[in-house]
C-alpha cells in the first residue's frame, strides 16, 4: 500500500509540475525533435497518436502531410498550450486528457504512434511495461517511434529540476540501459525493432 501511495504521489506531483510550467515549457520547445522529422519522411499511416503530446510540436511534420493526428497528455494546461501552438500555425489536431497506462482507445486503432520522452517519466517498471503494452495494444501494424533517456548517471532514477519564476520543480526520470529497454520492449510484445543513440536518448522504431 505504501508503494502504491508513493506511486500516486509521484504521478500527482508530475502532473502538477507540468500544469505549472506549461507556458514556460512550450516557449522552450518549439521545433519537432530531429528524429521525429526523420520519421515523418517515411511511409506514415493515418491516424496518428502522439502520447504525452506536450505543446504538440512533434505533430507539425505529420499535420503538414495531412495526417489525421490525436494527441494525449495528462496535463490539462499542456493540452491548452498545444491547441494554441497549432492554432498559431494554422494547424489542427484532436486532443484528449488521458493516462498513457490506460489509453481510451480500442485495439488496433492507430497506424502511427509516437511515444517520445514519456516512458522514462513513469516511476516503476510495472507502469513502464503497462504503458508499452498499451502502445502495442492500440497499434495496427503500426509505425511506432519511442524515445527514452539513456543511462548517463550512476543512479537509474533521478529528479531533474525545472526553474520557473524563481522556484524549482522536480520531474522524475528513469534512465534506461540498452539491455533494459530491449527487455522491456520484448516483454511488452514488440518483436521487430531497431534502436539508435540520439544524444541523450535511445530512439526506437518498430519494424513492420
- DSSP characters for 91-122? ---EEEE-BTTB-SS-TT-EEEEEEES-GGG-
Nearest Cα to Cα of residue 51 among 153, 131, 152, 163: 131
User: What gap in Å lies between CA 120 and CA 51, rounded to an integer?
Assistant: 13
Quick one: pLDDT at residue 117? Answer: 93
In the prediction, which pLDDT does 160 show?
Answer: 80
Q: How many CB atoms lie within 10 A of CB 160?
A: 10
Looking at residue 19, its pLDDT comes to 73
**HSE toward the beta carbon, residue 192, CA cutoff 13 A:** 5
The reported pLDDT for the residue numbered 156 is 85
Write down the pLDDT at residue 9. Answer: 66
- pLDDT given at position 165: 74
Q: What's the pLDDT score for residue 168?
A: 81
| Segment-wise mean pLDDT, segments of 10 residues, the chain, 208 residues | 56 74 73 95 91 96 97 93 95 97 97 96 95 96 91 78 76 91 96 88 86
The pTM for the full model equals: 0.90
Residue 141 has a pLDDT of: 75
Q: Give CA–CA dist 36/120, Å, rounded.
A: 18
Residues with Cβ within 8 Å of residue 165, at least 6 apart in sequence: none
171: enclosing H helix or E strand: strand 167-174
| Annotation: CATH topology of 2-206 | Rossmann fold (3.40.50)
Q: Cα 82–87–88 angle (5° rounding)? A: 105
Q: In the prediction, which pLDDT does 208 show?
A: 60
Chain centroid, CA 17 distance in Å: 16
Check residue 2 and give its pLDDT.
40
Amino acid at each position: 500500500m505504501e508503494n502504491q501511495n508513493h506511486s500516486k504521489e509521484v504521478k500527482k506531483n508530475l502532473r502538477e509540475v507540468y500544469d505549472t510550467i506549461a507556458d514556460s515549457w512550450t516557449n522552450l520547445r518549439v521545433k519537432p525533435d530531429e528524429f521525429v522529422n526523420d520519421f515523418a519522411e517515411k511511409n506514415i499511416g493515418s491516424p496518428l497518436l502522439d502520447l504525452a503530446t506536450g505543446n504538440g510540436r512533434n505533430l507539425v511534420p505529420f499535420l503538414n502531410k495531412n495526417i489525421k493526428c490525436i494527441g494525449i497528455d495528462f496535463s490539462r494546461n499542456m493540452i491548452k498550450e498545444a491547441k494554441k501552438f497549432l492554432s498559431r500555425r494554422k494547424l489542427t489536431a484532436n486532443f484528449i486528457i488521458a493516462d498513457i497506462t490506460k489509453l481510451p482507445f480500442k485495439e488496433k486503432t492507430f497506424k502511427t504512434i509516437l511515444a517520445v520522452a514519456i516512458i522514462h517519466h513513469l516511476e516503476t517498471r510495472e507502469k513502464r511495461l503497462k504503458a508499452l503494452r498499451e502502445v502495442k495494444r492500440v497499434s495496427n501494424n503500426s509505425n511506432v517511434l519511442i524515445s527514452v533517456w539513456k543511462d548517463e548517471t550512476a543512479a537509474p532514477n533521478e529528479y531533474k529540476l525545472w526553474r520557473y519564476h524563481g522556484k524549482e520543480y522536480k520531474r522524475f526520470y528513469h534512465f534506461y540501459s540498452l539491455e533494459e529497454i530491449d527487455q522491456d520492449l520484448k516483454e511488452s510484445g514488440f518483436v521487430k525493432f531497431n534502436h539508435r543513440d540520439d544524444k541523450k536518448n535511445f530512439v526506437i522504431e518498430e519494424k513492420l
